[in-house]
Amino acid sequence: MRKECPLRVRAFGFGRVRNIVVLELLAILTVSAATAQSAQPAVTAPAAASVPTKRVELGDFASDLDGWTYYGGWEFKGAGGKLEHDKTVGRQAHGSARLTGDFSKGGSYVAMKRACNAAALSMSFWIKAEGLSHFSVRLTDATGQTFQRKVDLTASGQWQRVELTDLSKADGYFGGAKDGVWHGPLKAIWIMLTVQKNRGGGTLWVDDVEAVCEQQALFLPATTPADIQPPTDSIFGFSGHMIHTDFFYGPERFGPYWGLEYTLPFVVRGGFGWMREALYQGFFTGDDAEKVASRRAKFEQYLDMYDRAGVKVVLCPLFSTVGNKTFPAYFEWLGDLCAKHRCIAAVEMHNEPNLRSFWRASEKDYADSCKLGASILKAKSPNTPVIIGSISHLWWGPGVQWLQRVLRYGTIEVADGFSAHPYRNGAPPEGGSLHAAADDPQGLESELRDWWGMAQTWNPTGKPLKLYLTEVGYSTGKDAKGIGVEVDSLDRQGDYISRLALVLLDVRLRGVPIETVNWYDLKCDYDNSGVQGNFGVISYDTSRVRPAYQAYSRVAKAFGNSLDLEPLNLKPAFSHHADVVKTLTWRRFSDGALIVAFWRLNQLQDKDEDFASQMELKLPDGFAVGAVTLSDLYEDAPRQIGFSVVEGKIAVPVRVSARAVWVVIRPAAPRATQLAGTWHWTLPARFDAGKARMELRGPWRLRLGDPAPLELAIDNTAGTGELSGEIVLMCQPVAFTVPAGKQQTVALPAPALQAAGSEVMHYHVRVGDAMVGRGGFVRLMQDPITLTAPPFVNDKGELRIGLANDASREMTATGVSWISGDKQGQEKLQTRLPPADRTLLTVPALKPKPYAPLPLDLKVDFRDRPGIAWSGDAGCNPCWKLTPTIDGDLDEWKTLPAIDLIADGKVMMTDHAGPKDLSGTIWIGYDESNFYLALRVTDNQFHQPYNNADTWRADGLQFSLAAGTMQADDWHELGLALTPKGSLLWRWTGPEGTKPGKMEGRHVVRNEGDTTIYECAIPWSQLAPLSPKDDLLRFSLLVNDSDGKTRKGWIEWGSGIGRDKKASLFRLCQLAR
């Protein structure tokens, strides 16, 4: 097991500063794994009689509440109370926090609480009480474990000092590590006014809250070297948090280690070209002019450091809506920064605004803020790219939906690119996440190509756009409940970062304009074992580098100029376990060397282990091998290896590991290509070769059946000599020669797609020994004939296929063929499809079982054009017409066929113990006024302590409805639960303009031992644009299960709710007439 690499210790004296050990970074940060095993501090601090400490003020309440907030103990219904700043009462001076509680109507406690980040050894505060004999304190450690204790009061109406010398001493503990051991630092403090005898309440005054904290060691940052040249065309970098320091937040929240004094040496020495830095409107605007000026000056000092280092920065300002009075001033200042600091390479408009935790206003509000903010910024710095989106994940349904809505409000007009955070939730770096399969070795590549193709449908003018992947990463931390981004070791983080970086580089080389990849984070955010604090590749205090830093640095240094690499379609062979080896192959322009990167896909192996193999590669014609160098990221440095060449194939012995390895095959006679051109990301693309002009052109929006020419137009009329070169399109070279004074158009072999969709293409243009043009583009293919809805088999066994013909001429369907399991059928047709009209095809198929999945593949053939293929669930899912009484008595439903939750659904929990644990029967119906839903659920332990939006955490329903069309971009997600306050019908989301919250509609939820009855009627007016006049609708439902702790999982009928939010995954239901 490789470990974090320690940096040497050095002791200094600092005059007035006492009891501080300062650690100096090594001049060279790339420490080998072998060194990491045995390295010891060169000098250690002398043993001390006591731990050096300092006092940290957490509340003196002199002028306000110092960040303390009120919590009403709402999980126990009935308590009343409030938290106020009392200007008239204080222990020594005026000012204290006053907490009042009233339990006459119920409840258990109210509290005042504060978040912090303090390496506390003990705590103290002063308290005065009226009407109370005791209160309670909660302390939360770094793992989220909470320690609660009762504290008795010895006097009433007098100030008393409360000292907590053992933070783990408690009457009970819960959450987090759940081991009863204190894991610092202190993350939160609650002072709780608890119910007294005879349901009494009272008042607490609190003052002078202090923590005695361990004096943390400081590390002297290394000097950023001035002799290292920044990479030329790198995409590799990190997300940073340079304002998450004690300067901006105070020492009780953050240490100094996110400051650029500490982090920039790692960026520069590691060979990285990009950083992403967030900043917040409230920190840099406001009425406190002195504080604002001080913060702005510090921020600019850091930008100056990035300027000098040659590191590009994506600035990520978080901002308010346009109505905030400080909004214009904030963007005026941002514009000044962009004009002044050459390091600012793009401005990313907010962070994950599709999540309400970051942006609570509407999509239109975000769009308005982007448009106004961009106009203010561009007036000062016209050439600074503005990046829209910053969506969490890549293919998560609500994120894509949110971005589509934002673009409808005109943000594409100010956008120079999109940003996204393609975390591989639950998947290795190559795998898909929510769009492609997690075990697909090309999953990430196909997801990015498809996403970029989709993005071009939002780009009506075809303006050049770039893609910024501003967060992606894996954490080595662990929480009580995983979130899908964790890896089990530091080594695996190093494996994954190397593989992810090379896959994303290859995707850029093959036409997707990835401008930057920002690993989240450069440094660990916290000194704890939690998930959020351990994405970094450097330890919290910058004293140690992790294997991931070393691996990523090696990749960044080797491939820091993406312009110098050409993708190849050469596929190497491996003598052992070839089916689990991932390969990428490139040619280097600067010397003609071939590069083969490879690694084993641990996710496909029965046993996760390395193996020896022989790699064999067919060499390009005329390629003579001079030397072969192997870069194994488990080794300290590249090394030359032996090879053999037989019949034009080179063979080299290699060891295949889970971390990226690459072989560089250098030619005996290197041929250097001058990199004279730049990247182009749209059509037409124009470039120069001396006095000659070239243009790559062709339509990028196509209709199936129309011509799709792609050509290179060359104008050499101003040239004085012959122009010879080649364009390499999708790895296929096409040579050209144009005499001086002539023009020529070269037709390129680029066959059009044979079905609707998108294709990402890449190319480069070489003239003589210079590459004069490079880039990629997307071609979109639209089919004038489309499916109007997913095909389905009705209760008569008929396969029904709706088709729309948007062409200007009549089409003819000549046949339908289908396969479902071991059954298949074929029907010849001569059905005319009139132009601009819809046609329903009905062919005999097979008798379905109602509500059971029916996987089916079909193809519709046409005369004089390609056919249409479809694969999916063609099940028969009737929605019955009836008007039940909503009373919890399900007798009206019993005669109708129903959904069996287990037999027809899918169990999404690992510890399901059978029907008694969780099972159920579901009915769906409608009439002209309402949609109806009824369930009888068996659950041997009912548990639902939550209310409102949190009911998904325990027993209850989540269900979604959408239009029964092929493109269902909007949906309603609703919930039905028996809460402590009674039956609740809740809306989480809906079409744009729909507000979340409690819904209108009749509903009953009743629990009777092991049985829970759910029944509800939802007016169609609450489900617009859905209507009872529709023949089809999409519906999906899941039943959550919690046996007393957290949600352990669910059983779903349909999908698109629990894992992903996507209407295309709902089941298609047919409204019975």
Q: pLDDT at position 77, please?
A: 83
DSSP characters for 752-763?
Answer: PPSSSEEEEEEE
Q: How many CB atoms lie within 10 A of CB 817?
A: 17
Q: What is the pLDDT of residue 220?
A: 62
Helical packing angle, 490-509 and 547-558, nearest 10°: 20
Residue 217 is inside which H or E element, if any? none
Angle between helices 289-309 and 327-340 (to 10 degrees): 30
- For the chain, state the CA radius of gyration: 32
For 775: left if phi > 0, alpha if psi spans -120 to 50, otherwise beta; the answer is left
Q: What's the rounded Cα separation, in Å, for the pair 265 and 226? A: 10
Which class for 655: exposed (0-12), middle (13-18), buried (19 or more C-beta within 10 A)? middle
Which pLDDT band holds residue 427 (cuts at 50, 70, 90)?
Answer: confident
pLDDT tens digits, one per residue of 562-575: 999 999 999 999 99
pLDDT at position 226 is: 75
With vertex at residue 885, the alpha carbon angle to CA 880 and CA 888, rounded to the nearest 5 degrees, is 100
Q: What percent of the chain has pLDDT over 70?
A: 94
**Which residues, 6 or more positions from 49, have their beta carbon under 8 angstroms from its beta carbon?**
none
Average pLDDT over residues 386-410: 95
pLDDT exceeds cutoff 80 at 651: yes
How far apart are alpha carbons 500 and 444 in whole angstroms? Answer: 9
Q: How far apart are CA 620 and CA 616, in angstroms?
A: 13
pLDDT at 222: 67
CATH number of 218-558: 3.20.20.80
Give the other-Cβ count within 10 Å of 718's Cβ: 11
For residue 10, pLDDT over 80 is answered with no
Q: How distant is the alpha carbon of residue 971 from its chain centre?
A: 22
In whole angstroms, give the CA distance from residue 408 to residue 399.
14
937-971 tens-digit pLDDT: 999 999 999 999 999 999 999 999 999 999 888 99
Q: What percent of the chain is modeled with pLDDT above 90?
A: 82
The answer on pLDDT for 6 being more than 50 is no
Domains 53-214 and 785-873 agree in fold: no
List all residues 6 or more positions away from 176 whose beta carbon is below 8 Å from its beta carbon. 140, 141, 143, 144, 145, 146, 183, 479, 480
Measured between its terminal Cα atoms, the distance across the chain in Å is 66
The CATH architecture to which 674-782 belongs is Sandwich (2.60)
Average pLDDT over residues 259-277: 96
| Whole-Å CA distances, 166 to 111, 176, 527, 800 | 21, 18, 20, 71
What is the rounded distance in angstroms from the CA atom of residue 376 to the CA atom of residue 581? Answer: 50
922 within 8 A of 935, measured Cβ to Cβ: yes
Query: What's the topology of domain 53-214?
Result: Jelly Rolls (2.60.120)
Mean local confidence (pLDDT), 163-189: 91
Structure tokens at 914: 């059978």
129: tokens are: 């009480």
- Asked if 343 contacts 311 with a C-beta cutoff of 8 angstroms, the reply is yes
Beta-bridge partners for 968:
none
Cis before 853? omega within 30: no
CATH topology of domain 568-667: Immunoglobulin-like (2.60.40)
Average pLDDT over residues 3-20: 31
Q: In b/e form, how buried is each residue of 966-986, taking b as 16+ CB within 10 angstroms?
A: eebbbbbbbbbbbbeeebbbb
Query: For residue 607, what is the DSSP state?
Result: S
CA 993 – CA 365 distance, rounded (Å): 12
d(CA 686, CA 692): 11
Q: Structure tokens of 904? A: 């027809």
Torsion of CA 791, 792, 798, 804, to 10 degrees: -30
Instruction: Compute how many other C-beta atoms are within 10 angstroms of the C-beta atom of residue 923.
Output: 22
In this prediction, residues 180-199 reach a mean pLDDT of 92
> What rounded mean pLDDT belongs to the chain?
91
Torsion-angle region of 398 (φ positive above 0: left; ψ -120 to 50: alpha; else: beta): alpha
Residue 1034 tokens read as: 């999409």
The predicted structure's pLDDT at residue 32: 29
List of residues 6+ apart from 210 with CB closer than 8 A? 55, 56, 57, 58, 123, 124, 125
Q: Are 1023 and 972 in contact (CB under 8 A)?
A: yes
Containing 490, the helix (H) or strand (E) segment is helix 490-509
- Lowest-confidence pick of 134-138, 597-601, 680-684, 755-759: 755-759
Longest dimension (CA), the chain: 103
Q: Give the distance, in angstroms, between the CA of residue 621 and the centroid of all CA atoms in the same chain.
A: 43
The CATH number that domain 785-873 falls under is 2.60.40.10
Query: What pLDDT does residue 92 have?
Result: 84
| Helix (H) and strand (E) counts in the chain | 12, 67
Coil, strand, or helix at residue 300?
Answer: helix
List the chain domain ranges: 53-214, 218-558, 568-667, 674-782, 785-873, 878-1071
Report which DSSP code applies to 708: -
Cα–Cα distances in angstroms (integers) from residue 716 to residues 666, 736, 767, 775, in the given order: 35, 12, 12, 22
Phi, psi (rounded to 5 degrees) for 891: -60, -35
Q: Are 803 and 786 in contact (CB under 8 A)?
A: yes
- Find the range with the poorest average confidence among 30-34, 72-76, 693-697, 833-837: 30-34
β-strand 701-703 against 982-989: which pairing, if any? Answer: unpaired
- Tell me: pLDDT of 557 over 70: yes
Query: How confident is residue 1005, by pLDDT bands cut at 50, 70 and 90?
Result: very high
What are the φ/ψ torsions at residue 281 (nearest 5 degrees)? -55, -40
Distance CA 510, CA 774 (A): 11
Q: Could you give the CA distance from residue 993 to residue 363 in angstroms, rounded to a whole number?
A: 9
Backbone φ and ψ of 320, nearest 5°: -95, -175
pLDDT band of 754, cuts 50, 70, 90:
confident
CATH 2.60.40.1190 assigned to domain 878-1071? The reply is: yes
Which pLDDT score, from 0 to 100, does residue 25 have?
31
CA dihedral sign, ordered 848, 854, 856, 860: positive
DSSP single-letter state for residue 602: G
Asked if pLDDT for residue 535 goes beyond 60, the answer is yes
Q: Please tell me the total number of residues recorded for the chain in this structure.
A: 1073
Environment class of 185 (CB within 10 Å of its CB; exposed 0-12, middle 13-18, buried 19+): buried
* DSSP structural state of residue 78: T
Average pLDDT over residues 892-914: 95
